[in-house]
């Protein structure tokens, strides 16, 4: 049940450490962001994470505010041993029964739910090509759209089984990027026909997912001037059109070096292009203040998409963690 009746701002913020500073509390109370995202710098113990999640939500007065984390498995997981399980990377499930991945994400989902985290930035639906930058690499669920579709669906189902919302990423496809978008702007020169046949196909098949995250990638055949995150044409014509995605569209991190310009400009362009929400991750207050100046209240259609996404959560059923973990290991053996 929400306590804050004000329309949230269309932004998700990170924070700097394992507890909130007084300055962060005041900032979040003033800005009223839609939600928050956690990283390894915010994680020490289960009790500490639960307390931080509760503190973040208390700043906006909404106990259902989205709290996100990247918990894919492999090299992209913010919760790690000894407090949490070491989950395998996506590539470990290629050629295995989809049940293995669904159960793997049920295990992940339960860990997140126990901490109060309710949105996972997973699964990756990118189809990597030979010679692409390794930023996707073994995070991918195969080298073909068919493989990625089957396993991507299983991952989404596993999270939804535990009441956790998945975010499919990086729409409309990051698999051809020759550079890491954290560090530079990838430019893809592939024809639109080939993109639609391959890269876009997993996102089209999972267009009913509750959330999706944009790619900071330029597709020259569609919009040679702007990356997908900032492109009205890519978002309107491809993501909402050809792909048909109808859920909550969140930008990838605005602080990534693929994007240029001031932070208020980045936020403005992403929202004007058609993102429902913008994401800023690094917890740097000065940058967040700039983003907040440009962030507007959620639009009516964004609120409808959020409500529809929340209705997709399933009621978790009782099951034994040890038994499910053993089943995953057996299916991967």
Active site residues: 182, 252
Write out the two tokens for 120: 């996972």
Closest CA to 109 of 311, 333, 321, 309: 321
- The alpha carbons of the chain give a radius of gyration, in whole angstroms, of 19
Q: Which helix (H) or strand (E) holds 36?
A: strand 33-38
Distance in angstroms (rounded) separating the CA atoms of residues 42 and 282: 11
Going by C-alpha positions, the residue among 199, 191, 201 that lies closest to residue 215 is 199
Q: How many C-beta atoms lie closer than 10 Å to residue 257's C-beta?
A: 13
CA pair distance 193, 126, nearest whole angstrom: 17
Q: Which of 77, 62, 68, 58 is nearest to 138 (CA)?
A: 77
Helix-helix angle 98-115:145-161, to 10 degrees: 40
Task: Judge contact between 44 and 35, C-beta under 8 A.
Answer: no
User: Of 165, 160, 111, 107, nearest to 319 (Cα)?
Assistant: 107
* Contact by Cβ (8 Å): 123, 141: yes
Phi and psi, residue 270, nearest 5°: -65, -45
Answer for the pair 274, 249: CB distance below 8 angstroms, yes or no.
Answer: yes
Both structure tokens of 217: 């990638």
């Amino acid at each position: 049940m929400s306590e804050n009746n004000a329309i949230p701002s269309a932004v998700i913020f990170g924070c700097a450490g394992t507890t909130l500073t007084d300055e962060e509390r005041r900032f979040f109370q003033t800005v009223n962001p839609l939600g928050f995202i956690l990283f390894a710098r915010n994680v020490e113990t289960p009790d500490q994470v639960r307390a931080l999640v509760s503190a973040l939500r208390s700043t906006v007065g909404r106990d259902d505010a989205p709290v996100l984390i990247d918990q894919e498995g492999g090299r992209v997981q913010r919760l790690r041993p000894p407090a949490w399980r070491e989950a395998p990377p996506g590539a470990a499930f290629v050629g295995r029964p989809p049940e293995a991945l669904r159960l793997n994400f049920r295990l992940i989902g339960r860990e997140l739910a126990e901490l109060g985290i309710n949105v996972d930035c997973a699964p990756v639906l990118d189809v990597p090509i030979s010679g692409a930058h390794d930023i996707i690499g073994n995070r991918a669920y195969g080298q073909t759209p068919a493989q990625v579709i089957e396993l991507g669906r299983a991952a989404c189902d596993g999270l939804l089984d535990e009441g956790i919302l998945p975010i499919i990423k990086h729409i409309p496809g990051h698999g051809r990027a020759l550079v890491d978008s954290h560090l530079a702007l990838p430019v893809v020169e592939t024809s639109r026909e080939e993109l639609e046949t391959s890269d876009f196909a997993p996102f089209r098949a999972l267009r009913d997912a509750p959330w999706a995250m944009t790619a900071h990638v330029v597709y020259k055949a569609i919009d040679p001037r702007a990356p997908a995150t900032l492109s009205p044409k890519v978002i309107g014509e491809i993501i909402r059109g050809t792909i048909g995605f109808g859920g909550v569209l969140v930008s990838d991190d605005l602080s990534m070096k693929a994007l240029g310009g001031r932070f208020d400009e980045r936020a403005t362009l992403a929202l004007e292009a058609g993102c429902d929400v913008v994401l800023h991750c690094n917890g740097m207050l000065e940058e967040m203040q700039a983003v907040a100046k440009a962030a507007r209240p959620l639009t009516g259609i964004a609120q409808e998409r959020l409500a529809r996404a929340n209705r997709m959560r399933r009621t978790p059923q009782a099951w034994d963690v040890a038994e499910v973990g053993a089943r995953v290991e057996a299916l991967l053996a």
